[in-house]
Amino acid sequence: MYELDDHNDNQGRYVFYVWSQSTFEQVIKCIKTPGTKEVTIIGPEEWEPLLLGCGSEDRLRTIQIAKKCNVKLRVYMGSVADKLNHRNKHNDFGFENWSNYFGHVIARRHSHGNGSLSYTPPYTPEYDKLEKHFTCMNGRPHWWRSMFIDKLYGAGLFDYGYISWHEWDYEEYKSLWDFEYWVPEKLEFQKDFKGTDGMCDIFVPPRNAFEKSVFSIISESNLDCLFFTEKTYVPIYHQRPFLIWGAPNSHAYLKKIGFKLFDNVIDYSFDSIEDDEKRCEAFVKQVTEICKIDKHELLKLTQSIAKENRDVYLDHLKTKKFVPKELIEYLEFNIKNSYHKQFEGYLECVNSYELLMESYNKK
């Protein structure tokens, strides 16, 4: 565990990072420590403020303690702040949301290039290379992802896509979904996608699969909250049509903020279904429908929309539309006055559009 001094700027201001070794107890201790003036928790990597305990009661108690101790508490998380995100339990706590954080991460990563390239170009579907209707990449077998892939198999759709299924043998996940159609096994469609350390770069997709398939069928990271990770932004960056299995209103929200839906080939009525299993079944039905369309025709029907969505995505990055202004000011101030390397990484993400354009112009 980090000591509080590791987070201190020596003026009573402390910062914690959600993917660090910090704990909820340490945050509370810091707030209660005499001389503490500000506590900032930076965690857009997660949809909820993990360092503020395990539920709403802990979070409310932390806010009350900070108020009592006259400590300014800032919290930045990655979920969507919108009434469409009605399952989010943290909208009323006054936390700030950087809801397209992973979109910025993707741009930053691709500005650094891949292999010998200084810039990673979009891996768009190639008309003359098409072999499958979709690509579907899956990591941890959460129960909703297990349900989804089980129903995908039950609908006879495995032959239509490049499908990966990693980490399927995690013991804590085995009992969470009773598979009805599929017997789980590890699935890989591109052996060289992993590095020499056996890990995948989740921000740079398998090029062959992306060029040889039309759609990205996405299984997002939770059903409790609108929270768009690299799973959604990788296809958008690479100018691919996509369909998201996630929380209700996933597609309605993306449409609300400017993205175009592929409603010339998809019926999005499933998007508002509250019952998760019924929504999953309706979702899989739409995957079935797009697989009935000839692959080349499907590409013709969707490629212009996919290109427009990438333009919308780049505009969001350029305008920093969803980055809290206070966070930008906080990062810039602290880079000048502290030694926290994490600040530099976050600020690079904030300025990812400029980095991407700079690398593009040098290619």
In tens, the pLDDT along 57-80 reads 899 999 999 999 999 999 999 999
On whether both 133 and 195 belong to a single domain, the answer is yes
Task: Identify whether residues 290 and 173 lie together within a single domain.
Answer: yes
157/134 Cα distance (integer angstroms) = 10
Does residue 89 fall inside a structural domain? yes
End-to-end CA distance of the chain: 43
Q: Do residue 125 and residue 84 come from a single domain?
A: no
pLDDT cut 70: percent of the chain above it = 90
What CATH number is attached to the domain comprising 37?
Answer: 3.30.750
Number of residues in the chain: 363
> Mean pLDDT over residues 127-146, rounded?
94
Tokens of 7: 């987070």
Position 22 in a domain: yes
pLDDT digits (tens, 9 = 90+) for 16-44: 999 888 899 999 999 999 999 999 999 99
pLDDT for residue 290: 98
User: Which of 138-147, 162-171, 301-310, 342-351 is least confident?
Assistant: 162-171
11 and 71 both lie in a single domain: yes
Q: Is 267 part of a structural domain of the chain?
A: yes
SS3 content of the chain, % helix, strand, coil (to 5): 45, 10, 45
Task: Round the CA-based radius of gyration of the chain to a whole number and report it.
Answer: 21
Statement to judge: residues 305 and 334 lie in one domain: no
Q: What is the rounded average pLDDT for all residues in the chain? A: 90
Q: Do 61 and 171 reside in the same domain of the chain?
A: no
Inside any domain, residue 213: yes
Shared domain check, 297 and 228: yes
- Separation of alpha carbons 175 and 157, rounded Å: 24
Please tell me the total count of domains within the chain.
2
CA angle 330–99–70, rounded 5-degree value: 40
Task: Inform me whether the pLDDT recorded for 114 exceeds 80.
Answer: no
Indicate whether 284 and 336 sit together in one domain: no
Confirm whether 359 is domain-assigned.
Answer: no
Is residue 217 one of the residues assigned to a domain? yes
Q: Which residue has the higher pLDDT, 9 or 345?
A: 345
pLDDT band for position 199 (cuts 50, 70, 90): low
pLDDT band with cut points at 50, 70 and 90 for residue 1? very low
Tokens of 53: 């305990």
Range of the domain at 261: 116-317
φ/ψ of residue 76, rounded to 5 = -115, 125
Residue 303 has pLDDT above 70, yes or no: yes
Per-residue pLDDT, 278: 98
Do residue 163 and residue 178 come from a single domain? Answer: yes
Q: Quick one: 331 and 301 in the same domain? A: no
